Amino acid sequence: MTQPISDKRSSLPEAERIVSDAVDAEVLEREPALRLAASLTEAGVLDAVLEGAFESKRRGKGDRVSVSRNVFIPLTNLCRDRCAYCTFAKQPDSPDAKTYSLSEVEDVVRGGLRAGCHEALFCLGDKPEVAYKAHREWLAARGLRTTTEYLVQACQVGFETGMLPHTNAGILSAEEMSALRPWNASMGLMLESTSERLRQKGMAHYYCPDKDPAVRIRMHEEAGELKIPFTSGILLGIGESAEERIETLLTIRDLADRYGHIQETIVQPFHAKPDTPMRGLPSLADAEVAAWVALARLILGPAMNVQAPPNLAPEVLELLLRSGLNDWGGVSPLTVDFINPEAPWPALRELRRRTEAAGQVLVERLPVYPDQLLHQPEFFEPRMRDDCLRRVDASGFVPPPSGGRTVEAA
Ligand code: SF4
């Protein structure tokens, strides 16, 4: 059981001291993080945490908040797992089951290019060939054994058509990531949670062998060994405790420290969806989401890119902008968020207006961030890096077209 900061009437002075120390040290450790988390509802503590996180962000990232203009390509929505919150995954006999053909991939990419997008986000279910004979036969008809072999072809189509792929395909082996690396600017896997409890019967990840935390940590390590710019993240509100959230963030920090490959950490709140076993679970309050974005910033430090998806909290972008994030993630002018289809993207123009109204500057990035792109060439195949560099200016961000601002075009 986590103890609050103190038993005295006001925890605020101690919270302010913890936050101030964390900002100066550029790190928040487990015990003080636990004490802050246990006191967030006490008067003034949330504001202190937000202010500290914002200051940490300001020191590390200045006044910039970035966004990636992308297209979302759910290459297949078949998946061998059954996460209790998911509506993305379909059974092969569902009328909504879909695997994109390579010509459909090319069509989406061409549409994205016309809309000024740079990123093709390939997001798909985990190893459906293990669970479904029909999908194995579909692959075999194309001379393939695994969905990843097909994904390599799709990423090649995406890259050669003119887009920068970013793949999130669930658990991949080192060999699979190696095969994908030449065609991907970056890859990702939400760590989601290091909680083993969530794999127990009745919990979110019971029917999900690919949500074993040890397996997910191992993939992060292998991506680090392969020098792949890598996106991780935490999923909030799926049954985990505050202690487990902090443990997850500390694990991401440890991976980033050991390998230097974690390019961003997503802080994503769970939203209950109808027709799922977790439909009755309440969503996190907006203030709690903002508090955990802020704690992520303090734990991970000013150098980390911290992202919160704007479509999952459209009413409170201003609150999120106070919480230390420096990235809105991928926002598409063309395609929906297939993971959260009920949550439309804000128009980029609107995102820019609200970001700037909060005193910050919206900039457009690629699916890789400037630090790795400009200063760590070992993270890229030369051809991929050259392609990325052609799209950015000296800051590493996409320059606005002359006489206008890139992100306003949508
Ligand atoms: S959340 Fe991902 S891994 Fe889980 S069932 Fe859905 S697609 Fe599969």
Work out how many domains the chain is built from and give that number. Answer: 2
Kindly report the backbone phi and psi dihedral angles of residue 90, in degrees, each rounded to the nearest multiple of 5, phi listed first: -125, 155
- The token duo for 122 is 């390939």
Q: Does one domain contain both 114 and 241?
A: yes
The answer to the question of residue 405 being in a domain is no
Indicate if ligand 1 lies below 6 Å from the C-beta of 128: no
Encoded amino acid at 317, one letter: L
Q: Does one domain contain both 52 and 63?
A: no
DSSP 3-state of 44:
coil
User: What mean pLDDT comes out for the span 372-399?
Assistant: 98
Q: Does one domain contain both 282 and 178?
A: yes
The answer to the question of residue 6 being in a domain is no
- Residue 189 CB partners (closer than 8 Å, separation 6+): 168, 170, 171, 172, 216, 219, 220, 223, 230, 231, 232
The answer to the question of residue 354 being in a domain is yes
Q: Does one domain contain both 342 and 259?
A: yes
Q: Can you give the pLDDT at residue 280?
A: 86
The answer to the question of residue 1 being in a domain is no
- Residue 59 CB partners (closer than 8 Å, separation 6+): 23, 302
Residue 41's alpha-carbon distances to 47, 174, 402, in angstroms, are 10, 43, 47
Strand partners, 363: 66
Q: Does one domain contain both 17 and 92?
A: no
Encoded amino acid at 70, one letter: N
Encoded amino acid at 116, one letter: G
Pick the closest to residue 323 from 128, 60, 104, 52 (CA basis): 52
Q: Does one domain contain both 27 and 172?
A: no
CB-based contact 73:120 (threshold 8 Å): yes
The answer to the question of residue 407 being in a domain is no
Q: Does one domain contain both 37 and 150?
A: no
Residue 98 CA to ligand 1 centre (angstroms): 15
Nearest protein CA to atom 4 of ligand 1, as residue: 83
Q: Does one domain contain both 234 and 350?
A: yes
CATH number, domain of 309, equals 3.20.20.70
The residue segments making up the domain with residue 27 are 12-56
What share of the chain has pLDDT > 70, as a percent?
A: 95
pLDDT tens-place string over residues 317-349: 999 999 999 999 999 888 877 777 777 777 888
Q: Does one domain contain both 28 and 138?
A: no
pLDDT, mean over the chain: 93
Q: Does one domain contain both 133 and 19?
A: no
- Res. 230 pLDDT band, cuts 50 70 90: very high
The answer to the question of residue 71 being in a domain is yes
Indicate if ligand 1 lies below 6 Å from the C-beta of 60: no
Q: Does one domain contain both 45 and 126?
A: no
The answer to the question of residue 177 being in a domain is yes
Residue 239 CA to ligand 1 centre (angstroms): 16
- Res. 273 pLDDT band, cuts 50 70 90: confident
Helices and strands in the chain, H and E counts: 15, 9
CB-based contact 332:119 (threshold 8 Å): no
pLDDT of residue 297 exceeding 60, the answer is yes
- The token duo for 368 is 């890789």
Indicate if ligand 1 lies below 6 Å from the C-beta of 233: no
Residue 174 burial by Cβ neighbours in a 10 Å radius (0-12, 13-18, 19+): middle
Q: Can you give the pLDDT at residue 180?
A: 98
Residue 88 CA to ligand 1 centre (angstroms): 7
User: What mean pLDDT comes out for the span 287-297?
Assistant: 97
Of all atoms in ligand 1, which is nearest to the CA of residue 85?
1
Q: Does one domain contain both 39 and 156?
A: no
The answer to the question of residue 4 being in a domain is no
Read off the pTM.
0.94
